[in-house]
Structure 1
C-alpha cells in the first residue's frame, strides 16, 4: 500500500510548520506579520487548526465506513491529526516551562 505523494507532502509541510514554531511565527523576507495579532490569537488559531484536523479525520473515518473513502486517506488524516496534537502538547509544555522559569527569577 502506498501513500499518495500529495497527502504525504501536505502532512510533512504541516508537521514542519507546527514542529518549528519559531519558523512559522517568524516572517520570511518580504513578508509582514498581521497587524494586531497577539499570542492569544495565534494560540487560538493553532488550537482551531488541530480541532479542524480532528474533524477531517473523523469525517474520513465515516466516509470509509460508508464505502466512500479508502484506508490510505483515513490513515493519512489520522496521522496529520496526531502530529498536530503532539505538537500542541509540546508547545504547551514549553510555555509552562518558560512560565516556571520566569517565576524562579529573582525580582
Structure 2
C-alpha cells in the first residue's frame, strides 16, 4: 500500500476503544508506523536495485531497462526521503527559533 494512502486511511478511521492516558499517543504511533513503513519501502527499493545490478554483472538473463528502472526508483525514493528529512529539520529549527 502507498504510504500516503495508508496514512490517509489511518486518519479517516475513528479511534477504537478508550482514549489513551496520554493525549496524541495514537497519532504518534500512527506517524511512527508510517515513517517506519516509508523507510522500509526505500530500503526494499535499494535492495531490489542492488540485486538487479548484481544479476546483470553476473551475466544472468535480465534486461538492461529493468535494471535501470529499478535503479531510478531507488534513487528517486532516496532523494525524496532526504528532502522530507531536510524539510522536517528546517521545520524543527524554525519552531525552536520561535519565542514563547
How many correspondences in the alignment? 86
Aligned to 1:77: 70
SS at match of 2:47: helix
Q: Which runs of 5+ in 1 are unaligned?
A: 1-16
Aligned to 1:63: 55
Q: Which runs of 5+ in 2 are unaligned?
A: 17-25
Pick the structure with greater CA Rg.
Answer: 2
SS at match of 1:106: coil
Task: Output the CA distance in 2 between the equivalents of 1:34 and 1:79.
Answer: 38
* 1:33/1:87 CA distance change after superposition, 3 Å: farther
Aligned to 1:51: 43
How far did 1:24 drift?
Answer: 6.7
Task: Output the CA distance in 2 between the equivalents of 1:96 and 1:80.
Answer: 24
Taking structure 2 as the reference length, the TM-score comes to: 0.70
Q: Describe how 1:2-81 pairs up with structure 2 within 5 A.
A: 25-27=7-9, 32=13, 36=26, 37-65=29-57, 66-81=59-74
Root mean square deviation of aligned Cα:
2.8
Q: In the alignment, which of 69, 73, 80 is matched to residue 87 of structure 1?
A: 80
Taking structure 1 as the reference length, the TM-score comes to: 0.66
